[in-house]
Amino acid sequence: MLYSLISGDINQEDYIRYYDIQIIERKLPKNVHGLCFNKHNINFIVVNSCLGEKNKKETLLHEFAHIELHHLEKVFFNTKIKDIEDEADNYIKEILWNIK
Ligand SMILES: [Zn+2]
């Protein structure tokens, strides 16, 4: 699905409806671009409101990747946070590479 979004086949509205995503903007610490969590089967994404538009967009894609890769369902005790971060970033990189 993220592929369809990045390649423009669907828009962000369609995407967030499909995955039941609520996007919230909040002032977060400077080094935190965004985070996501699942509550009552809704995927919440919090984006740092201090970010510029380009960074907000990149952050959203990164958090979408977490959702699509089912990271929110994984038991975090068993998975190193860094692995999850890298997996999300690599997922987006791969899509971008395939679209070129
Ligand atoms: Zn992340």
pLDDT for res 82? 85
| Position 77 confidence tier, pLDDT thresholds 50, 70, 90 | low
**Alpha carbon of 84 to ligand 1 centroid (Å):** 7
Mean pLDDT for all residues in the chain: 91
5-29 average pLDDT score? 96
Please determine, for residue 3, whether its predicted confidence score (pLDDT) is greater than 80. yes
Between helices 53-68 and 81-99, what is the axis angle to 10°?
Answer: 110
What's the rounded Cα separation, in Å, for the pair 33 and 56? 8
pLDDT for res 81? 80
Nearest CA to 12 out of 71, 56, 50, 72 is that of 56
**Alpha carbon of 76 to ligand 1 centroid (Å):** 13
**Alpha carbon of 40 to ligand 1 centroid (Å):** 21
**Alpha carbon of 61 to ligand 1 centroid (Å):** 10
Please determine, for residue 80, whether its predicted confidence score (pLDDT) is greater than 80. no
Strands 21-26 and 42-48: parallel
